[in-house]
Structures are given as C-alpha cells and as structure tokens.
Structure 1
Amino acid sequence: MTTWQSYIKEYQNYLRLERSLSKNTIENYTFDIEKLVLFLKQYDIKMSPITITGEVIQQFIYEIATTVNPRSQARLISGLKSFFNYLIFEDYRTDTPLELIEIPRVGRKLPDTLSTQEIDALIAAIDLSTPEGERNKVMLETLYSCGLRVSELVALKISDLFFEEGFIKITGKGNKQRFVPIEAATIKLITDYVNFVRVSNSIQKGFEDTLFLNRRGRQLTRAMVFTIIKNLAVKINLNKTISPHTFRHSFATHLLENGADLRSIQLMLGHESITTTEVYVHLDRKFLSEVLNQYHPRSSK
C-alpha cells in the first residue's frame, strides 16, 4: 500500500499549504482514507488511488454502514470525495469513483444552549477562594462574552488584547485571524486577573505571553477547561450535556434573540459560511418571518 501512502502525503501537504487547514482537520481527512486502505488490505484488493473503482468504494461504504451512524458515514464519504477531487485537480485521475455514491441525509443536530440564568449559576458556583477559581471565573466570562472556541480561549495571548480599542485578536481555524469586540465588564475582569492573580504564578519559559495559565505556569489544555465546566454543571445539578462549545452556542443564540443580525454574529464567531451560523443560532422560520414583516418595504406593518 506504499502507493496510497505517497498520494496521501501529497494530499496532506495540499490541505496544509494550499487550504491552510489545521493539524486536527488534516488528521480527520487522512483517517477516512486510511479506513479505505485498511479495507483493501483486509480483502487483498490490489488497487491504487488511480485504479480504484466505484464498485469497490460502494462495497467499502456498505461495510462501514453496518458499524457507524449516518452522520459518521456522511462525514466519511465527504472526506473521500475531497481526496478523489484532489486527484482529479492534480490530473492523476479524470473521474471520481464516488460519482454515484450519495451522502446519507442527516438532520442537523441543534446544539444545546444555556439560559443567561444558567450561565450566571455556573459562574456563581466557582470557588473564588483560590487563584484557580479566580482564573476560572474570568475564563468562563471571556468564553461566553466573546463567543470563543475553547482552542481560541486557551491560546489567547496578552499581546492579543487591544483593550483601548475594545477588541481582542483571535486566531481561529486554519490560522485565520479576526477581531472580536469585548465589553467593559470583561475587560475589567481580565485586567484584574492579569494584575492581581496571574502575577503570583511561576510562569514557565515560553508561556510569558499566554493569558490563562495552569498551576504549573503553562498553557491550559482544552480538556482541563472541559473538566472545569463539567464539574460546575454537576455542582449546580444542571441536567444538560454541556461543554465549552455550549457557551459559544449560547453567545450566538442570545445575540440573535436580542436583535443582532446574522452577518455580525457570523463575523464574531469566525464562520466562513453563514449557513453554519444559522445552525449555531437555531434559526427557525418564525424568526425569518418576523424579520421580513419588520424590515421589508412592502410589508404591511
């Protein structure tokens, strides 16, 4: 299967250099192709990425369908389509073996959200008698009030804070940068944390500019933020499955409910497509009707 590995390596370079995808995303794409390679090996099918046929791919999909749910199956097919489209793009193939393979229809899963009361209750449950507790409060307030991804939160640098202008600089997926507005209350919390809490940390070399530090003076892991939130949910008996991403969903939903427009929310969240934003904010047809009735010049108000 050496042939496969050489094409996969070229594809990974293409995703990294030309599409600027993150390491995690590239690994996910590669994992899908490696599942196919494993299938070929298992059944001793000697076909390269250039000679593999639609029938063999179909056989592989049928087998996968018995072990994964439709959502995972759809993601797998999508990943393979991307790989074979790349081979066509590079003139290795003239067609795709997935031409006749349809992606299973799956309903979009609406993310859980928290009410402002639930967010307040979670933050109020933090034990502020320790430096870690003080840090956790500031961290969760920042996560929610700026609508950040957890990876963006833990990577936040002091040099990314432009408080005089009222913005913070965020490096999101694919190293794309955006400026997110930050409110005065959150600015004060972060400033106090930096001046009175963070200074007591013994900061490790290389982490002098990292905003949120763990007890060892290094950058927090995403898993640690997840654990902090899970523990707080247990503490207040919150019967919802929540994660750091729940704060981001809630940020977007609350903005929409209070009258913010979708395009502004899209820019703050750093979504490439506004369709993604629609899912985040649970956009429904009732909301669209209200917008039409309120803003269209032909509507009879």
Structure 2
Amino acid sequence: MKWQQALKDYELYLKIERGLAANSIVNYLLDVRKLINYLEDNEITISPIDIDKETVQKFIYDIAKVINTRSQARIISGLRSFFSYLVFEDYRKTNPLDLIESPKIGRKLPDTLSEEEIDRLIAAIDLSKPEGERNKAMLETLYGCGLRVSELINLKLSDLFFEEGFIKVTGKGDKERFVPIVNSTKKFINNYINYVRNHIDIQTGYEDTMFLNRRGKQLTRAMVFTIIKQLAEKIGLKKNVSPHTFRHSFATHLLQNDADLRSIQLMLGHESITTTEIYVHMDKSHLSKVIQKYHPRK
C-alpha cells in the first residue's frame, strides 16, 4: 500500500464511518502529510504498512525542534489515529505510536472580552453602509448565541424559529442543536433580513443562506475574521480578537451570571462537560458564589 492510497482510504473512513466535519478531516490528513513530506525530504522509502516506531520517533524528534509542544501533541494524536485505522483494517499488526508519549501541555485558556469591550466593538460598526446592518446582526448572533464561525456562516433562514425563541445550529460532525435566542438578537437579524438582505441579488443556491456578501453568496470564514480584526483596530483594542473570542465571551459571561455548566454545555454543543469546564478555570470567583449560595453552612 502506498501513502497516497492510504490517505485516500483514511479520508473516506473519517468522512463516512466517523462522520467528521470537513475542517477536522483536513487537519487529520495534514498531520499524516507532514510525516510523508519528512520521509520524502530525507529520501526514506518506506510504506505506511512497514514504517517502524524508530522512524516515526525520529520524525517527531526532528519536528519538535521547529514547532511548539501543542502542535507536536496535535501531530502525535493525528498520526496515532491514522495508524490505528491501519491496524483496524488489518493492514498493520501494531501502531508505531503506541509507546510514544505526547508532550505535557498546559490547558490553554481562551481570550475573552468584557461586556464593555463587546459593546464598543459592535458600536464601531458603520451602519451608514448596507453591510453595517449585516455585520451588526452577525456579531450580535456570534455573541448572543455562542456560535462557532462555521456555524454562523452556514446559518439558514429556515434555521430561525423565532416564535419558539430558538435557532437551529449545525455544529461539528453535522450535529444539530437548538440554541435559545434573545429578543435583541432577533431584532438585529430581522433588521438585516427586512432592510438589507432583501435588496441583494441572491445567487442560485444561496436563497436560504442567512448572511450574504455583496455578490449574493455565502460569506467566508476569512471575511468574518477580517471584519472583527478591523473593528478591533478601529477602537484600539490590543487583545487578539477572533470570532471564537465572542463564543468564549458568551460562555464566560453566562457563567459569571450564575448559569449552570450543563446548560452552557448544551448551548455551545460540547460533547463532553470537561470541554465546558475550562470556563470555570478562567473565573474561579464563580465557585465562590456557588458555595456561598448553596452550602448549608454558608
């Protein structure tokens, strides 16, 4: 079996059997391609079936000189998954990553914005331009519903259930969840739909897509990043701000206002509560509030 054939089969496995999202599949394949490039650069001719632990270990040792521990751990995890697939399909007897440990990395706490910083960013949007109403509705939805940027740009008009007070969100692995939406966010979305979007010449195939660019097509992830970066520069905000910052801020502010972790987990679409628990580490004052409120000997 050659590397390219193994990659093609692995991609199908990730897509069909594991049901991973396109972005996740790209990252998994990228990890394997780094190993393939290393073998080619060092003129090592060996198949994915025959490659041994020592060769993989040498690759990890060499790449560790130029990448940080978090990236190193990511590559080890990706390769372990790839070789586990080959073992599962009986191409190999053992996984060469079984005895290779990932480097210890600390839990990275996400950047967050204060409520005042969120307000300043949104207030900096130029509403005299048609895209201003769109951008305001987008950022209010990002923050008001705690969406990932991919979930935002894929939002459909048919996903809006305003009378019931929810929007339907398609998350990682095409898993759907219903997220509550507050009245102020509904108002901004309706303003955009009724006064801006209905004047756009919408291209075929994008009739149901909520947020459109000026050419009547779906916005890209990069465009949303750019809009937020430009607003941060406009108000002189020194933090590293991205669409995900709004999602982190959504969860942190809910926790600070005494929302329970389980509810936050459901709204964010986290598969495991341990992913949501990172927000407790960010704001330990929440724990103090909980014990003061609920402990019988407070």
TM-score bin (small chain): over 0.9
Partner of 2:254: 255
Q: Secondary structure at the match of 1:56?
A: helix
CA deviation vs aligned residue, 1:8-56 (integer Å, no higher than 9, x gap): 2111111000111122211211111112122223333332222221111
| Cα drift, residue 208 of structure 1 | 1.1
Does the 8 A contact of 1:249 with 1:281 survive in 2? no
Partner of 1:77: 76
Name the CA distance, whole Å, in 2 between partners of 1:160 and 1:101: 45
Q: Spell out the pairing of 1:110-259 with structure 2 (5 A cutoff).
A: 110-259=109-258
Question: What residue identity is the alignment partner of 2:50?
Answer: T
* 156-165 or 271-280, which deviates more: 271-280
Name the CA distance, whole Å, in 2 between partners of 1:279 and 1:295: 22
Q: Secondary structure at the match of 1:234?
A: helix
Residue correspondences, number? 298
Q: CA RMSD in A?
A: 1.7
CA deviation vs aligned residue, 1:248-278 (integer Å, no higher than 9, x gap): 0000000000011111111111111222212
Does the 8 A contact of 1:252 with 1:281 survive in 2? no
| Cα drift, residue 113 of structure 1 | 0.6
Does the 8 A contact of 2:258 with 2:286 survive in 1? no
Name the CA distance, whole Å, in 2 between partners of 1:230 and 1:284: 26
CA deviation vs aligned residue, 1:209-266 (integer Å, no higher than 9, x gap): 1111111111111111111111111111111110111100000000000011111111
| Cα drift, residue 282 of structure 1 | 4.0
CA deviation vs aligned residue, 1:129-160 (integer Å, no higher than 9, x gap): 12111111111111100001111111111110
Does the 8 A contact of 1:4 with 1:37 survive in 2? yes
Q: Secondary structure at the match of 2:277?
A: helix
Partner of 1:300: 297
Does the 8 A contact of 2:166 with 2:180 survive in 1? yes
Does the 8 A contact of 1:253 with 1:282 survive in 2? no
Alignment pair present for 1:32 and 2:31: yes
Question: What residue identity is the alignment partner of 2:218?
Answer: Q
Change (3 A) 1:104 1:39: same
How much identity, in percent, do the aligned residues show? 67
Partner of 2:273: 274
Change (3 A) 1:158 1:143: same
Q: Which runs of 5+ in 1 are unaligned?
A: none
Q: Secondary structure at the match of 2:213?
A: coil
CA deviation vs aligned residue, 1:163-189 (integer Å, no higher than 9, x gap): 111000011111111110001111122
Alignment pair present for 1:7 and 2:6: yes
| Cα drift, residue 289 of structure 1 | 5.6
Name the CA distance, whole Å, in 2 between partners of 1:86 and 1:275: 26
| Cα drift, residue 80 of structure 1 | 0.5
Name the CA distance, whole Å, in 2 between partners of 1:122 and 1:206: 32
Name the CA distance, whole Å, in 1 between partners of 2:148 and 2:278: 16
Q: Secondary structure at the match of 1:72?
A: helix
Q: Which runs of 5+ in 2 are unaligned?
A: none
* 226-235 or 44-53, which deviates more: 44-53
Alignment pair present for 1:105 and 2:104: yes
Question: What residue identity is the alignment partner of 1:257?
Answer: Q
Partner of 2:51: 52
| Cα drift, residue 284 of structure 1 | 5.4
Does the 8 A contact of 2:256 with 2:286 survive in 1? no
Question: What residue identity is the alignment partner of 1:241?
Answer: N
Change (3 A) 1:233 1:102: same
| Cα drift, residue 288 of structure 1 | 3.9
Q: Could you tell me the TM-score, scaled by structure 2's length?
A: 0.94
Question: What residue identity is the alignment partner of 1:152?
Answer: E
Partner of 2:87: 88
| Cα drift, residue 199 of structure 1 | 1.2
Q: Could you tell me the TM-score, scaled by structure 1's length?
A: 0.94
Question: What residue identity is the alignment partner of 1:111?
Answer: P
Name the CA distance, whole Å, in 2 between partners of 1:138 and 1:44: 53
Name the CA distance, whole Å, in 2 between partners of 1:282 and 1:125: 31
Name the CA distance, whole Å, in 2 between partners of 1:143 and 1:94: 46
